[in-house]
């Protein structure tokens, strides 16, 4: 890294051509599978290392530590991290403030170059990053690769978006004036990412903030600190100046709250649970001595997502879509399908086909590339098992429901399906964030649409139908931020599917979309009367 004065050593990378999504790795190709196994061996040899906080470029250690473990083998420590507290929060804000004064003056081209350089490095180390995801959060190979690819996409996309924003002009030039519209950075912000997409979402929020000219205090999830540490190492290698991103794992109650409440913090970008997101929003809204700006919150908080299967749907496609959406990464996605709403005339047939399809899924250590790996931790598993007991009282258990014991003590849960669930049942209303699916019968499309809209959330949804009138009606009245027709409700692609939800799903921030960087900037209009200043 450079000095606190901001070096001039960032290599310039030009975003030539249009943005194109990073292609997925085909692991059926022998060479790719071999490369992934080699990366797993390489990363496996690095497990258990200790990582420092990085504040203003300085490596800092604390007395208290955070152990990140492998959820498939909880005795295996993936990384040992420092636990930042209130003292480190103050230091991090100070370091970010100092770096901001010069980072904001860097040209958009230079800041974009940093992102493009980081994207290039991650692309070169794609299998290695996938392996870290497999060890630290339990992703199988395809899920890990998609996470890495999305991180690359965010870096590439936001680099280009920063240059587009720099070229913005007012709608008209008023006669006799030179009029400009400038998008300037906010200042110091907190980035608080989740554990379930610990590279993609963390990299996306961080890169959007810094390419817009802000500086960041990055507080990764305690379950995924190592992946964040590896990303910060990439930023350093790409030429990031000291203090632009300050890496600070820590507790939410002490460190996180201190940063959110700090009078010099200008924005908080958060992805996680509704409860934590609402608390952050409340804390940020309360002004404190020395605060001169209203804090901006950029929140993505989860969902209770539905797939509506109509009587005229392609049942095979619908079964595949529901299976992938409900049980990919063990249902640990805010976009995951946790409710299949199915018309009565096809309900029994759909349920039976779904049960048969899910029975084909394998559960086990993601290193061996099973369909489902572990859930993230013991607390999450216990919560899911409580919901399963509720489901047994509210409906009919037709698949799964058990937590298999393994010699390594991994946190595994079978893919679980309940049928005959009422639209207002607990299982149909509360976010479970695991491989538990409620199948809800409805009389017709109209009733199904009402049920799809009957939760406090509004993140993703899908409709399987061959009826154009029904799809048009859903386009208008299915109230979610990301709606899909005749495909699964997970797997939003950067650029094509800007991601963010309504209601209690968040602030509809639309990550990966053309308006996302506006959230990290403020617009400044400049007007100059022509002919009043000498050209020289």
CA distance 482 to 467: 20
CA distance 58 to 189: 19
CA distance 339 to 307: 6
> How far, CA to CA in Å, does 90 sit from each of 65, 96, 243?
19, 10, 13
CA distance 536 to 533: 9
Q: Count CB neighbours of 406 within 10 A.
A: 15
Length in residues, the chain? 536
Please say whether the beta carbons of 231 and 182 come within 8 A: no
Task: Find the Cα–Cα–Cα–Cα dihedral 73, 75, 80, 82, rounded to 10°.
Answer: 110
Of 151, 104, 95, the residue nearest 123 (C-alpha):
151
CA distance 161 to 251: 33
310 is a catalytic site residue: no
CA distance 135 to 132: 5
Tokens of 379: 């607390």
Residue from 136, 143, 310, 334 carrying the catalytic annotation: 334
Residue from 150, 161, 300, 414 carrying the catalytic annotation: 300
Tokens of 228: 């964040």
Find the helix or strand (DSSP H, E) in which 245 lies: strand 245-247
334 is a catalytic site residue: yes
- Which positions are annotated as active-site residues? 300, 334
């Amino acid at each position: 890294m450079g000095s606190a004065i901001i070096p001039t050593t960032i290599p310039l990378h030009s975003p030539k051509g249009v943005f194109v999504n990073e292609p997925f790795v085909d692991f059926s190709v022998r060479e790719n599978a071999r490369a992934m196994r080699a990366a797993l061996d390489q990363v496996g040899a690095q497990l258990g290392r200790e990582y420092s906080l990085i504040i203003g470029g300085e490596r800092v250690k604390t007395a208290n530590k955070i152990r990140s473990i492998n959820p498939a083998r909880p005795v295996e420590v993936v990384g040992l991290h420092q636990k930042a507290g209130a003292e480190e929060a103050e230091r991090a804000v100070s370091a970010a403030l100092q770096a901001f004064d010069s980072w904001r003056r860097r040209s958009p081209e230079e800041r974009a170059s940093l992102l493009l350089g980081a994207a290039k490095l991650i692309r070169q180390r794609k299998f290695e990053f996938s392996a870290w995801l497999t060890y630290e959060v339990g992703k199988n190979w395809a899920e890990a690769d998609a996470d890495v690819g999305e991180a690359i996409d965010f870096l590439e996309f936001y680099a280009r978006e920063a240059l587009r924003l720099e070229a913005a002009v007012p709608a008209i030039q008023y006669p006799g004036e030179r009029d400009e519209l400038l998008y300037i950075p906010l200042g110091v912000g907190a980035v608080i990412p989740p554990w379930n997409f610990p590279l993609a979402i963390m990299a996306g929020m961080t890169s959007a903030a810094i390419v817009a000219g802000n500086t960041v205090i990055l507080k990764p999830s305690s379950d995924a600190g190592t992946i964040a540490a590896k990303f910060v190492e990439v930023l350093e290698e790409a030429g990031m100046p000291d203090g632009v991103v300050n890496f600070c794992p820590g507790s939410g109650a002490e460190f996180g709250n201190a940063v959110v409440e700090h009078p010099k913090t200008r924005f908080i970008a958060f992805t996680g649970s509704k409860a934590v997101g609402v608390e952050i929003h409340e804390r940020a809204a309360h002004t404190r001595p020395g605060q001169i700006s209203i804090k901006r919150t950029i929140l993505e908080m989860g969902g209770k997502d539905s797939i509506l299967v109509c009587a005229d749907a392609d049942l095979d496609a619908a079964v595949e879509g529901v299976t992938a959406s409900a049980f990919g990464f063990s249902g640990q996605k805010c976009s995951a399908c946790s409710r299949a709403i199915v018309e009565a005339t096809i309900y029994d047939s759909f349920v039976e086909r779904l049960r048969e399809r899910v029975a084909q899924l394998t559960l086990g250590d993601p290193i061996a590339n099973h369909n489902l790996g572990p859930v993230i931790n013991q607390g999450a598993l216990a919560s899911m098992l409580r919901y399963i007991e509720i489901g047994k009282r509210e409906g009919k258990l037709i698949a799964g429901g058990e937590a298999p014991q393994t010699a390594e003590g991994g946190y595994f849960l079978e893919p679980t399906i309940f049928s005959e669930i009422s639209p207002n049942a607990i299982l149909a209303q509360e976010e479970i964030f695991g491989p538990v699916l409620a199948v809800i019968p409805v009389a017709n499309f109209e009733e199904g649409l009402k049920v799809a809209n009957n939760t406090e959330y509004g993140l993703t949804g899908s409709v399987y139908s061959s009826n154009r009138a029904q799809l048009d009606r859903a386009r208008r009245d299915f109230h979610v931020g990301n709606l899909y027709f005749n495909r699964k409700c997970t797997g939003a692609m950067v650029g094509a599917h800007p991601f963010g939800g309504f209601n209690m799903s968040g602030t509809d921030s639309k990550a990966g979309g053309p308006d996302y960087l506006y959230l990290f900037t403020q617009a400044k209009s400049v007007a100059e009367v022509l002919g009043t200043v000498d050209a020289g």
